[in-house]
Chain A
Amino acid sequence: AQSVTQLGSHVSVSEGALVLLRCNYSSSVPPYLFWYVQYPNQGLQLLLKYTTGATLVKGINGFEAEFKKSETSFHLTKPSAHMSDAAEYFCAVSARYNQGGKLIFGQGTELSVKP
Chain B
Amino acid sequence: DTEVTQTPKHLVMGMTNKKSLKCEQHMGHRAMYWYKQKAKKPPELMFVYSYEKLSINESVPSRFSPECPNSSLLNLHLHALQPEDSALYLCASSQTNMGLAGGETQYFGPGTRLLVL
Which residues of A from 63 to 115 have beta carbons under 8 Å from B?
A: 88, 90, 94-103, 105-108, 110
* B97 CB contact (under 8 Å) in A44, A101, A106, A107: A101
Question: A12 interface residue, CB < 8 Å from B?
Answer: no
Question: B25 interface residue, CB < 8 Å from A?
Answer: no
Give the top 6 A-B pairs by smallest Cβ distance, nearest first: A101-B97, A51-B103, A105-B42, A43-B108, A32-B103, A101-B100
Contacts of B45 in A (CB 8 A): 102-103
Contact across chains for A98 and B100 when beta carbons are under 8 A apart: yes
Contact across chains for B42 and A100 when beta carbons are under 8 A apart: no
Tally chain B residues at the interface, Cβ within 8 Å.
33
Give A100 to B98 CA distance when docked, in angstroms. 6
A11 to chain B, nearest CB (A): 14
* Given A43-B90, A43-B109: A101 in contact with B42 (beta carbons within 8 A): no
* Closest Cβ neighbor of A101 among chain B residues: B97
Contacts of A110 in B (CB 8 A): 40
1/0 contact trace for A1-40 toward B, CB 8 Å? 0000000000000000000000000000000101010000
Q: A44-B92, A99-B98, A101-B56 are in contact. List 17 more A-B contacts (CB 8 A).
A: A41-B113, A42-B111, A51-B102, A52-B103, A88-B40, A94-B101, A97-B101, A98-B100, A98-B101, A100-B56, A101-B96, A101-B106, A102-B100, A103-B45, A106-B42, A107-B42, A108-B41
Interface of B is mostly: mixed
* Closest Cβ neighbor of A52 among chain B residues: B103
* Chain A residues at the B interface, C-beta cutoff of 8 Å: 32, 34, 36, 41-46, 49-52, 88, 90, 94-103, 105-108, 110
B40 to chain A, nearest CB (A): 7
* B31 CB contact (under 8 Å) in A88, A98, A101, A107: A101
Give A3 to B71 CA distance when docked, in angstroms. 31
Contacts of B109 in A (CB 8 A): 43
Contacts of A41 in B (CB 8 A): 110, 113
* Given A106-B42, A107-B42: A101 in contact with B102 (beta carbons within 8 A): no
